[in-house]
Structure 1
Amino acid sequence: MLVTDRTPMTEAEIFGDCLTHPRGHHEVWEAWRKLGATALRRRGLPPTIVSHEYEAFPRGRVVYMLEPALFTLYADRHLQRSETVAEIVRLFA
């Protein structure tokens, strides 16, 4: 299951020559953990988040490179399967 936290382009943060999500993996994960298992389930997130550190799972990030105007996916090698990349493209439109 892919668990994502997305940002509209209009709310992206400038980082060097890129636009990126303003929150880090640890920050997002800890906010989710504080919600508790029931609230996570209601949001469609796996309740196992509360009992694991974010480092336990493969992670990635989608950034928009201003030059040459394209999206780049930085992903753990476990996420670099064609079906997973296709799902990430679908989720992030």
Structure 2
Amino acid sequence: MRPDVEYGSERRDGQTATEPSVGIFWGVQNGGRTVLVTDRTTLAQAETYGDCLTHPRGHHEVWEAWRRLGATALRRRGLPPTIATHEYEAFPRGRVVYMRGPALFTLYADRRLQRPATISELVRLFGLTGLHHAVRSDAHYRILA
């Protein structure tokens, strides 16, 4: 079976978080495949939002910073060059938050990213292997196309 998803990360220090993290992610089309790209924060550096810990940066902010790099610099960082020519809302996206009360990581994701293999890879990328997590849909992380 040929995988339809490749995995990449904004980080150069390897793709897997070394400790549990929160953050944002996209499934970006690149050469006919979907590549997962992430921007992560460890729980120690996460922001408090009510009873949750969350990533301090938003999708628009991170995407625009990447776009400004241009295609060549994106390639050098291991990011798909298609980022340079698309809006952040063009691709399915999501966010990982940590809910302190139930000690639960929640992956809010566009339904297109809720396939078992993709969720398993997101769990790995965010350092959540073996930790309690749930997957949810949210209107904020849905593309209309």
Q: In which range does the TM-score fall when normalised by the shorter chain?
A: over 0.9
Distance 1:71 1:52 in 2: 29
Q: Secondary structure at the match of 1:63?
A: strand
> How many matched pairs?
93
Q: Secondary structure at the match of 1:3?
A: strand
In structure 2, stretches of 5+ residues that fail to align are 1-34, 128-145
Residue type of the alignment partner of 2:83 = I
Q: Secondary structure at the match of 1:22?
A: coil
Q: Deviations over 1:39-89 (max 9, x none)?
A: 111110001101000100001000000111110110000000000000000
Distance 2:50 2:92 in 1: 24
More strand by share: 2
Residue type of the alignment partner of 1:6 = R
Distance 2:38 2:96 in 1: 11
The residue aligned with 1:80 is 114
Q: Tell me, yes or no, if structure 1 residue 57 matches structure 2 residue 91.
A: yes
More helix by share: 1
| Identity value in percent | 80
Give TM-score scaled by structure 2 length.
0.63
Q: Secondary structure at the match of 2:41?
A: coil
The residue aligned with 1:89 is 123
The residue aligned with 2:58 is 24
In structure 1, stretches of 5+ residues that fail to align are none
- Greater relative CO, 1 or 2 (CA 8 Å, sep 6+): 2
Residue type of the alignment partner of 1:53 = E
List 4+ stretches of structure 1 deviating above 6 A.
none
Give TM-score scaled by structure 1 length.
0.98
Kindly report the root-mean-square deviation, in angstroms, between the aligned alpha carbons of the 2 structures: 0.6
